Amino acid sequence: MPINKSRFFLVCYDIANPKRLVRVHRYLKKRGMPLQYSVFLVLETSSSLIEVLAQIDEIINSREDDIRAYPINDTAEYTTLGQQALPAGLLLLGDGMLGV
């Protein structure tokens, strides 16, 4: 994957301290879309994701907190149950695009 090509990542976190939890959540809301309270969909290049994680690293306590970023492949398939995170009719497409 080219370093300057945008793609979707799932950024997930488990933060032990409520104040750090709020700060990480607020930061990620500026960078992506919340799918669940501690799971965000972000569209970043590999290099900009490193910057995002570096900013989060300044907020968290690495001995107590856990942050993970998972790349979403262009051909990824998923199944959902219950309330949907994406608005009706909005789909994830290849190459980091959203479609209707």
Tell me whether residue 2 is in a domain.
no
Q: What is the CATH number of the domain that holds 42?
A: 3.30.70.240
Tell me whether residue 56 is in a domain.
yes
Cα separation, 55 vs 79, whole angstroms: 31
Banded pLDDT at 87 (limits 50, 70, 90):
low
Tell me whether residue 38 is in a domain.
yes
Q: What is the pLDDT of residues 23-41, one digit of tens each?
A: 999 999 999 999 888 999 9
Domain that holds residue 41: 7-73+84-99
Residues 6+ away with beta carbon under 8 Å from 8: 41, 42, 43, 71, 72, 92, 96
Q: Taking the model in full, what pTM does it have?
A: 0.77
Domain count of the fold of the chain: 1
**Residue 19 carries which DSSP code?**
H
Tell me whether residue 14 is in a domain.
yes
Banded pLDDT at 74 (limits 50, 70, 90):
confident
Tell me whether residue 78 is in a domain.
no
Cα–Cα separations (whole angstroms), residue 84 to 9, 43, 91, 99:
18, 19, 11, 16
Average pLDDT, the chain: 84
Tell me whether residue 43 is in a domain.
yes
Residue 33 vs residue 82, higher pLDDT: 33
Cα 82 from chain centroid? 20
